[in-house]
Amino acid sequence: MNDQAYPDALKPQYRLHWYTIERVLGQGGFGITYLARDTNLDQLVAIKEYLPVEVVARGEDGRVRSRGDGQRERYRWGLDRFIQEARTLARFDHPSIVRVHSVFEFNGTAYMVMRFEEGENFGALLERRGTLPEKDLLRVLLPILDGLELVHGTGFIHRDIKPDNIHIRADGSPVLLDFGSARHALGKSRTLTILVAPGYAPFEQYGSNSENQGPWTDIYGLGATCYRVITGTPPLDAITRSKGILGSTREVLVPARTIGSGRYSAQLLAAMDHALEFAEKGRPQTVAEWRREILGEAIATNAAPAAPERSVPVAPEKVAPPAVPPPAFPAPAAPPDHARAGWSGARAPIAWGVAGATAGAIAIAVFLQMDNPRRDQEEKVKKEQLELDKELTRIQDEIKRGGLELKSLQKEREIDVKRVQEEKERLAELKKQAEKLRTAAAAQRKPSPEPPPLTKPKPRPEMVTIAPALILAPPTLAPLVELEPGEAPPVVAMAKPKPTPQAEPLAKAEGALARGDYAGAREILEPLAQGGNTQAQTRLAEMYASGQGVSRNYIQAYIWYSLATRGGSTTAPAERDRMTRLLQPAEVKQADKVVDGMRAR
């Protein structure tokens, strides 16, 4: 049977040509990675199966099929990209990039065969150790940069760099895994969905295309990984940071230079903060540029600073050599300018000059030897004072950071209270509307008084009871007829509404919601919503707005309300406007781009 933690995975001992599945190594948004055995070479390999569960499902026979006709084209496009990327990665032979052996199609999908690396996942290692010293961080970072530079040179970017996608071999060397989210960095690109790793993905990855993505996108992911190494926690996600950048709150990301001061070199901390710049143009644009910042080579490329001024003896004017033989040891240095200025020009005997210089040198040596203990003590005191200053700065930064976090929590609480009040008001308004609808429906069902029959009345046609939640359709008027004296007028029957093809799935979705089966309801509603059904779009928007069975997400609610509005819904515009008031202008603009992209498809 399948591993219960991976219900979509192939069963153990399943055969893929000459590969035998042993177990699941992991699953992501685009596929599942297995540990398998190559029966030809009798060695272990890692096999990644392309399986975007949003648009496909696996049948009992193991084959992969799209969830509907509307998903088939999207799935085929992604499958072609998966195969093309595998062929591209197979050309790379770098120790820090996962080695791809082959790729083949089977079961209606494709499989990428890779070298299986023994060792430990970097994310698991950090969970165990918390943080790492600078030398260990550089031992991981620099080889990854070399391999990533090779990948960028071919026009590809990884787009999903995080500790979980880095593997540490038994010998300590790193290897970058999971290029399943890789896309061409050049040209317009499509994506199957918006899948990001919060904290490790920059803001440009929250869009529906990759026009603003490039090497700087991967540099952000590596910078965030380094931030996790030195702080023990990943940085805040880009959406939260955007609110501070755009002014609704203050920037809440504490710089690396503040947290790591005293434990890591200043140049490494500055390089991390540069890589985590919010705007893509504010970051290093290439791996080579960022590597120079990390190693401090950027300073060496600038003009060297002027050396501090010091007194340099000026050589005296050349004179004829003395008549007496020169001494056996070097002559003393020329006197400084201020001594020469008052020199009368009469030269003292060389013997006196030598004797005076020797005596002066001995006196200086004795003074320096006597002064050494005192200078060592002063240096020790200065060093201790510097350490105390650093510790004081760290404590002050900690207090400041705690104050910022407290203010942020207070602000979030105020926003939550406001949202709860708005939700209460909305529910109260909906209750009023429901009461009006019930009253109107009751009046509609109430029979009108009939006149006493003078003659036997004609049989009434079948009456149709209209549910109060449905919009009443105009009745079909019967043709005018002349009545005999005493004959009762015929009753006009309401025409039965014809059920739509999507009425039954919608009813099933409502039933699932009533039972609390939110996952089942979402599985039914999403294909209908993506196919343009405004009722399904509105219902999904309500789930995201209220957090019913999903994480509350006002951006996603705004997207579905906007699609329903464009589809002609009369109730969605007001709700879309309510979501607009809860979002930042930049978030609304980004969401509108997503809506335009979905409408274009």
pLDDT tens figures, 127-186: 999 999 999 999 999 999 999 999 999 888 888 899 999 999 989 999 998 775 544 433
Query: 37: part of which helix (H) or strand (E)?
Result: strand 31-38
Q: What pLDDT does 181 receive?
A: 53
15-115 CATH fold: Phosphorylase Kinase; domain 1 (3.30.200)
Q: 151 and 157 in contact (C-beta within 8 Å)? A: yes
Is the model's pLDDT at 596 over the cut of 80?
yes
Average pLDDT over residues 547-554: 82
Is the model's pLDDT at 368 over the cut of 90?
no
Please tell me what DSSP assigns to residue 471. P
| Alpha carbon distances (Å) from 477 to 367, 486, 487, 490, 495 | 121, 22, 19, 11, 10
Taking the mean position of all CA atoms in its chain, how far away is CA 57?
26
Q: What pLDDT, in 10s, does the model give residues 499-533? A: 556 678 888 888 888 888 888 888 898 888 888 89
Instruction: Parse the chain into domains and list their residue ranges.
Output: 15-115, 119-300, 523-601
CA-based angle 345:351:352, to the nearest 5? Answer: 65
Which pLDDT band, with edges at 50, 70 and 90, does 4 fall under? low
Query: Residue for token digits 């002050």?
Result: 396
Which pLDDT band, with edges at 50, 70 and 90, does 311 fall under? very low
Is the model's pLDDT at 97 over the cut of 50?
yes
d(CA 179, CA 100): 11
d(CA 113, CA 44): 10
Query: Residue for token digits 């190494």?
Result: 229
β-pairing verdict for 156-157 and 183-184: antiparallel
Tell me if residue 189 falls in helix, strand or coil: coil
Radius of gyration, alpha carbons of the chain: 38
Q: What pLDDT does 333 receive?
A: 43
Which pLDDT band, with edges at 50, 70 and 90, does 349 fall under? very low
d(CA 145, CA 123): 18
Mean pLDDT of the chain: 75
| Alpha carbon distances (Å) from 110 to 59, 64, 177, 178, 418 | 16, 10, 18, 15, 49
d(CA 440, CA 406): 51
Domain 119-300, classified CATH 3.60.20.10, yes or no? no
From edge to edge, which strands make up the β-sheet containing 43-50? 15-16, 19-27, 31-38, 43-50, 109-115, 100-106
Q: 126 and 229 in contact (C-beta within 8 Å)? A: yes
Kindly state the tokens that stand for 284.
């290093």
Phi, psi of 183 (to 5 degrees): -145, 160
Kindly state the tokens that stand for 123.
């994310």
| Least confident stretch, 80-89, 395-404, 525-534 | 395-404
Q: Which residue has the higher pLDDT, 130 or 460?
A: 130
Is the model's pLDDT at 220 over the cut of 90?
yes
